Structure 1
Amino acid sequence: MNQAKGSLTTSLLFLFFHFCISIDTITPTQFIKDGDILVSKGERFALGFFSPGTSTRRYVGIWYNKVSEQTVVWVGNRDNPINDASGVLTINSQGNLVLYEKNQTIPLWSTNFSTSTSNSMAQLQDSGNLVLLQRDTERFLWQSFDYPTDTLLPNMKLGLNTRTGKNWVLTSWKSKDDPGTGDIVYRIDPSGVPQLFLYKGSVRWWRGGPWTGERWSGVPEMTRNYIFNVSFVNNKDEVSIAYGLTNPSIVSRMMVNESGNVQRATWNQRDHRWIGFWSAPKEQCDNYGECGVNSNCNPYDSDSFICKCLPGFEPKSPRDWYLRDGSGGCIRKAGVSTCQSGEGFVKMERVRVPDTTKAQADMNLSLKVCEQECLKNCSCTAYTSADERGFGCMRWYGDLVDTRTYSSVGQDIYVRVDAAELAKYGKSKGPLAKKGVQAIMIVSIIAVTLFLLAFSAYCFVRRKGKVIKFLGGLSNLYVVIDHLQGGKGSDEVGISDLPCFDLSTIAAATDNFSDANKLGEGGFGSVYKGLLYGEKEIAVKRLSKYSGQGNEEFKNEVTLIAKLQHRNLVRVLVDRPTMSSVVFMLSNDTILPSPKQPAFIMKRTYNSGDPSTSGANSVNEVTVTMLEPR
């Protein structure tokens, strides 16, 4: 009997527990109290009571149902906590969703929908959105997505609607133990050209810049079609952005924390942890107005101050600038005019464009017309494309604030400068200068083409005219290299100090390479005797096109002779025949005399069995027959 009663009790508890975690709606007759959990239909999100961190106070919130680390994404009574576990969330007689504390008739929190209805219910959707709707028509009366806390979920809007008065902003918790409204606010500022801001209290902390058509100007990490489908709306009624996921199985969120950062993270189910892949601010140049007005912050120039004045400007306080304090910014250089005085624009690349609070945008103007319109107004200080894909016009009036450089991705902006500054940069960087650049490029291409044609024609004429260089001056030995056979001149073979002779000179010396002057023939070709300028006997070796050894071997021989008998050395002739004698002997079959012993030899002696060099010893007399300068 007791066993049966125990089984019945267990079954009832299971059914009660299953009922508590499986329902996804609240009705006037079906409410939840502290300890109960409302779960979305697909079990992606859960709603219930929780205590953050070390706090014992109770709050109604929504969190991820299947993420092991409890991550709260929305809090209802964030500024009105319950001190015990007596809270009840239900639908009241006016049809509003309300939160009561024990023995209280005034709700601690309510959806505060103005129209009274007795036919409403609350439902937690798989998107994480808690909605109050009319049961018969399923018309939304209220939704938690319109009242975000610190987290932006997929398809949740950030921005504002001027027609309905909705203002979708993120506000941080006060601390990890207190989800109350904190000081960090993340929102879109609609002033001038709408842009993204992170505030710390009332102070601008970080600026995401205006929407460029594909991303925020100050968020270069945004990649189109990565894991998000981004929807940006900018019309007379609404300015907003929403991020949808391309893969619904991905768990991703954006949130602001009490430390002053906005960050995006995805859940890694394998490691059971959140992985962050973007946050801001994260470096000094991200801080709003780090370098003051009319300046640019460049964190990539590690050898100098990160703050640089914009073209045409100079530090307002050189002393502060020297001390690495750029907060005072820059002012226009003294004594210059940028109004109808030959001024122009200098292009700055890959930047987050300046604060657009006082900027104007016209999506119907081209960049060229944008420049012209800016030149007409002396108060216009800069311009750029409103959409970085190449259309629209954005113009600034007055000081330029919070510009910074990025390493690879960014917009181009054109800053107004005086005539002297424009000359310093060479030419206008605006689109009106493109015609001049194009003209220069065309002329350059034509000039290069004509040069190549002329050079080719010159080479062709040289080959057709059989222009030949001859090398000579090596101990009365002259070498002929025929360019038509692939040879090279003295400079080209690396022997820059060899004199060159033209073909007519060598031909005259050898009687046009007459067979009567032919002394013999070797592996390279024939050797001819001759008289250079009618008085100096020479021998000329001519490389034959039928030579089996080739140009490289012939060139090596010339190089070797040049190294062994340099023209700047004095030759000592030691009992050897002159070139004239050699030529005579070769032409008359005369036997060459036997050489004498060398002038010097090296003699070795041996002491204790070890060889050592004792020095140089002369074994015969040296006869100097002639000193002949080379």
Structure 2
Amino acid sequence: MSSLWGSSAALDTLKQGDVLNSSQYLVSAKQRFTLGFFSPTSYYGDKKNSYLGIWYTNYKENIVWIANRNRPISDDSRAFLTLDHLRKLMINSSGFGGDPFVIYSGGETENTSATLLDTGNLVVSEVNSNGSIGRSLWESFDDPIDTLLPGMKLGVNHKTGCNWSLTSWLAEDDPASGAFTLEWEPNTRRLVIKRRGVPYWSSGLQVSSSKNVSLFEYIHPTKGQDYIINTDAEGQYFTYSLDTEFDSLDQERSAWQLQYWGSIMDRSISIMKMSFCYGYGMDDEGCETWNQPECRLMGRQTFEQKSGIFTRIGPDGLPQLAAGVFDNRPTIGPADCRDLCWHNCDCLGYSGKEGTGSGCQYWEGNVTFNPDDGRSRSRILKYVLTKEDPSNKG
């Protein structure tokens, strides 16, 4: 194997035998996108596991694709990406503690290369005997994570068997598969968000097909984006493109990202008209309705993010710090914590576990929340149950 920079490979391409180590990058031809190893940073500045990902070159915090979301690297100092002579595109690292992570395993093609395009798509292609690029063998656009870039699809291709959908991160600093999915529903021609497989929100019906006007009832109009719905013999899908009439540096980094709390954001702007769904079904702009616990029906309860501590009255009659109940399961994130607390009528508040992206802490029973304007010794913000006027949206 040869180091990428020591070979004749272009900066946007891996050829067979090339190695990309943890301090090196692939950069697309016009430098729009970068591929390399990264470590997510939490709200508190902590870093832990590493991943191979793609991001907008000038906005590294905007990760648009991850190769190994559910198989993190504990030590990226020895991690490297290679396209070997058996046509396998894979990540090797002692931090895996096991076999390499294979991204693509080639077939009978003799020569292949992997190129990062200016669309953000990583494409493995066959290389013809004269050195020209032949047919595409695999592409990252067919293996989406939580992000829909212009030109990517949501839906199904009956010919290839591809079923395109997005799955949120588990938590802010944990890219593992989370609670929410975004799918295209061809029968109703709607975008649908599901939480753990249960319908949560939908875009509503198509209301317009003119340029730069929202196609759907419950999606905000976005200038410079054209929505495309395709139905043919090969399949049905939704995609969007950027209108060159509105071309700008900000528009160029457009990406629909399904957040770990269930919202769709594009450059920090909500695509959805509703920020969060509680399932009440009272003019909730696309939110689905589901059965509510009796205890939550009075006053349309919600959760508010606050800083402070929970206390309970001790044996001496004085307030004392109330310990939370922990749920240490590694497969649950903040959205699951909210749902579990919501369906437990004794639960008055919850938070994530400090220092981890997974797991929950709950406060139940005769406890009182005491806000402290950010002076709490705990770095974790709590979500505290409150009530609101039923005419407001929760």
Q: 1:278 aligns with which of 271, 294, 307?
A: 271
SS of structure 1 residue aligned to 2:141: helix
- Distance in 2, matches of 1:20 and 1:204, equals 50
Of 144, 160, 175, the match for 2:171: 175
Alpha carbons 1:160, 1:240 under 8 Å: kept: yes
Determine which of 10, 19, 43 is the counterpart of 1:31: 19
CA distance change for structure 1 residues 44 and 217 in 2, over 3 Å: closer, same or farther? Answer: closer
| Preserved CA contact (<8 Å) 1:196 1:210 | no
* Rg (Cα) greater in structure: 1
> Within 2, Cα distance between the matches of 1:243 and 1:21?
32
Secondary structure of 1:239's aligned partner: strand
CA deviation digits over 1:570-599, x for unaligned, max 9?
Answer: xxxxxxxxxxxxxxxxxxxxxxxxxxxxxx
Q: Deviations over 1:380-408 (max 9, x none)?
A: xxxxxxxxxxxxxxxxxxxxxxxxxxxxx
Task: Give the drift of 1:17.
Answer: 7.8
Indicate yes or no: 2:204 matched with 1:209: yes
1:154 deviates by 1.2
1:44 maps to: 32
> Judging changes above 3 Å, is the alpha-carbon distance between structure 1 residues 213 and 101 closer, same or farther for their aligned structure 2 residues?
same
Counterpart of 2:257?
255
* Pair 187,252 (structure 1): closer, same or farther in 2 beyond 3 Å: same
Shift of 1:277: 5.0
Aligned to 2:192: 197
- What residue in structure 2 maps to residue 538 of structure 1? none
- Deviating 4+ runs (over 6 angstroms): 16-22
Tell me by how many angstroms 1:71 deviates: 1.6
Report the counterpart of residue 475 of structure 1 in structure 2. none
Which of 163, 166, 188 is the matching residue for 2:162? 166
Task: Select 1:86's aligned residue among 36, 57, 78.
Answer: 78
Q: CA RMSD in A?
A: 3.1
Matched, 1:235 2:232: yes
Distance change >3 Å, CA 218–CA 96, structure 1 → 2? farther
Q: Which amino acid aligns with 2:83?
A: I
Please state how far the C-alpha of 1:212 moved relative to its aligned partner.
4.2
Q: Which residue of 1 aligns with 2:118?
A: 126
Contact 1:184 1:199 in 2 (8 A): yes
Q: How far, CA to CA, are the matches of 1:227 and 1:166 in structure 2? A: 28
The amino acid of 1:96's aligned partner reads K
What is the CA-CA distance between 1:259 and the residue it aligns to? 1.1
Superposition deviation, residue 124 in structure 1? 0.4
Structure 1 residues 169-210: Cα deviation after superposition (integer angstroms, max 9, x where no partner): 1111111221111111111123x4232111111221111124
1:88: how far off?
1.5
Aligned equivalents of 1:162, 1:262: Cα separation in 2: 27
TM-fit CA distance, 1:106: 3.2
- Conserved 8 A contact 1:99-1:110: yes
SS for the counterpart of 1:145 is helix
- 1:129 to partner: Cα distance: 0.6
**Alpha carbons of structure 1 residues 156 and 299: separation in structure 2 relative to 1, 3 Å:** closer
- Aligned residue number for residue 62 of structure 2: 71
1:431-446 paired onto structure 2 within 5 Å: none
CA distances 1:128-157 after superposition (whole Å, capped 9, x unpaired)? 110000122421100001111111111111
CA distance 1:44–1:323, shift in 2 (3 Å): closer
Displacement of 1:123 in angstroms is 0.4
Quick check: 1:209–1:216 contact (8 Å CA) kept in 2? no
Q: Distance in 1 between matches of 2:134 and 2:90?
A: 19
Structure 1 residues 280 and 179: alpha-carbon distance in aligned structure 2, compared to 1, 3 A threshold: farther
Note the C-alpha offset of 1:24: 0.7
Matches of 1:228 and 1:88, distance apart in 2: 37
Structure 1 spans left out of the alignment, 5+ residues? 1-15, 266-274, 292-296, 301-318, 326-630
Tell me by how many angstroms 1:229 deviates.
Answer: 2.5
The CA distance in 1 between the partners of 2:148 and 2:100, in whole Å, is 27
Query: Given that residues 155 and 165 in structure 2 are in contact (C-alpha distance below 8 angstroms), is that contact kept between their aligned partners in structure 1?
Result: yes
1:603 corresponds to: none
Cα distance in 2 between the residues matched to 1:201 and 1:105: 29
State the 1:48 CA deviation: 0.6
Question: Per residue, is there more helix in 1 or in 2?
Answer: 1
TM-aligned CA distance change 1:79 to 1:298, over 3 Å: closer
> C-alpha displacement at 1:127, in angstroms?
0.8
1:325-474 matched pairs, under 5 angstroms: none
Shift of 1:21: 12
Q: What is the Cα deviation at residue 218 of structure 1?
A: 3.0
Using the size of structure 1 for normalisation, the TM-score is 0.39
Name the structure 1 match of 2:139: 143
Structure-2-length-normalised TM-score:
0.61
**What is the identity percentage for the equivalent residue pairs of Structure 1 and Structure 2?**
29
Contact kept? 1:94, 1:116, Cα under 8 Å: no
Q: CA deviation at 1:278?
A: 2.9
CA contact (8 A) 1:55 1:178 kept: no
Greater RCO (CA < 8 Å, at least 6 residues apart): 2
Residue 61 of structure 1 corresponds to which residue in structure 2? 53
Total equivalences in the alignment: 269
Alignment of 1:590-609 (within 5 A): none
Map Cα deviations across residues 324-373 of structure 1 (whole Å, 9 max, x no partner): 78xxxxxxxxxxxxxxxxxxxxxxxxxxxxxxxxxxxxxxxxxxxxxxxx
Residue 49 and residue 323 in structure 1: after superposition, are their counterparts in 2 closer, same or farther (change >3 A)? Answer: closer
Q: 1:280 to 1:52 in 2, by over 3 A?
A: farther
Name the amino acid aligned to 1:232: I
* One-letter identity of the residue aligned with 2:53: G
1:258 corresponds to which letter in structure 2? Answer: Y
**How far apart in 2 are the matches of 1:28 and 1:105?**
23
Q: Is the 8 A contact 2:78 2:94 kept in 1?
A: yes
Call closer, same or farther: CA 1:57–1:222 in 2, change over 3 Å: same
Within a 5 Å distance, the mapping from 1:582-621 to structure 2 comes to none
CA 1:92/1:142 → structure 2, altered by over 3 Å: closer, same or farther? Answer: same
